[in-house]
Amino acid sequence: MADDKDKPEVIATVQVPPFEGTLHGDQLLRKAWAEELLTERGIRVNPHLPCVESEAEITLRSPREVAERLLALTLVAVKGEGLEHDNMLQIVADYNAMDLFSPKERAFIENPDPDMNDRVQFSWRYEAAWVMFWALKFVDSPLDFAENICDVPLLCATVRDTADLAINGMQSANDILNETDLIYRCHWAVRQASLDGEPPPEGLNPGVVMERHQALNWLVRYDDADWDDVGTDT
């Protein structure tokens, strides 16, 4: 038998107030599934974290909204990687995409000489774009576990070569909520490790986790927030 020290630690640092509404069956099943998956990987869970919303409680973003967000996220990530300013503006004009950017994204796109910190931060948007890419069914399988960066060449080539990014429709609300619940609990594990002065849990990339969490929360209209204001509470 393994020693207790080998077991995933289950801790709670936040007192969640009692839930006063009615939980749906899909919420409980989703929470149990995500917690079991994390436990099997040796990643600690917080059983006191609440469920994410039920299918009955959400209205997903439309395929068109998601397609526009995919394009915007990909373009800002490309600039973050270092594409020259004038070339970037020409690409944006070719796609007629300037109105697709959030206020923070537009400021970055229009800045001829962004600092390195901004470039790095926006280059991470490939990971948020990958969630949109998956949601629009350009990836058949569930999202890979959040440990490796996405396939940037495939993402960029598909966005470049696809006239209508909404052509495939959307993943089901159930599949999107499954990923939302899982990344919520992954993000808690990453943040808790940081608070404890420990490295990120093995198998989780903090940058990938954070970008996916914002993207998935946007997809399910968490707090009905616009992109720049989407929360990633844990």
pLDDT at residue 213 tops 50:
yes
Confidence of residue 15 (pLDDT cuts 50, 70, 90): very low
Of 74, 67, 69, the closest CA to residue 126 belongs to 74
Residue 157 falls within a domain, yes or no? yes
And the tokens for 187? 């993000």
Residue that has been written with the tokens 């999202």 in this structure:
143
Residue 117 falls within a domain, yes or no? yes
Residue 133 falls within a domain, yes or no? yes
The backbone region for 197, taken as left when phi is positive above 0, alpha when psi lies in -120 to 50, beta otherwise, is left
Residue 8: predicted pLDDT: 33
Confidence of residue 24 (pLDDT cuts 50, 70, 90): confident
Q: CA angle 130-190-216, nearest 5°?
A: 30
- pLDDT tens sequence across 80-104: 999 999 999 999 999 999 999 999 9
Q: What value does the mean pLDDT take over residues 2-8?
A: 35
Confidence of residue 22 (pLDDT cuts 50, 70, 90): low
Residue 136 falls within a domain, yes or no? yes
Residue 135 falls within a domain, yes or no? yes
Q: What value does the mean pLDDT take over residues 19-37?
A: 85
Cα dihedral: 220, 108, 87, 156 (round 10): -30
| C-alpha 38 chain-centroid distance | 17
Considering its fold, how many domains does the chain have in total? Answer: 1
What does pTM read for this prediction?
Answer: 0.89
Residue 3: predicted pLDDT: 38
- pLDDT tens sequence across 42-73: 999 999 999 999 999 999 999 999 999 999 99
| C-alpha 128 chain-centroid distance | 5
Residue 49 falls within a domain, yes or no? no
d(CA 170, CA 66): 9
Residue 2: predicted pLDDT: 36
Domain carrying residue 88: 63-140+148-161
pLDDT at residue 197 tops 90:
yes
Residue 83 falls within a domain, yes or no? yes
d(CA 219, CA 9): 31
Residue 112 falls within a domain, yes or no? yes
Question: Which amino acid is residue 126, in one-letter code?
Answer: Y
Confidence of residue 19 (pLDDT cuts 50, 70, 90): very low
pLDDT at residue 18 tops 60:
no
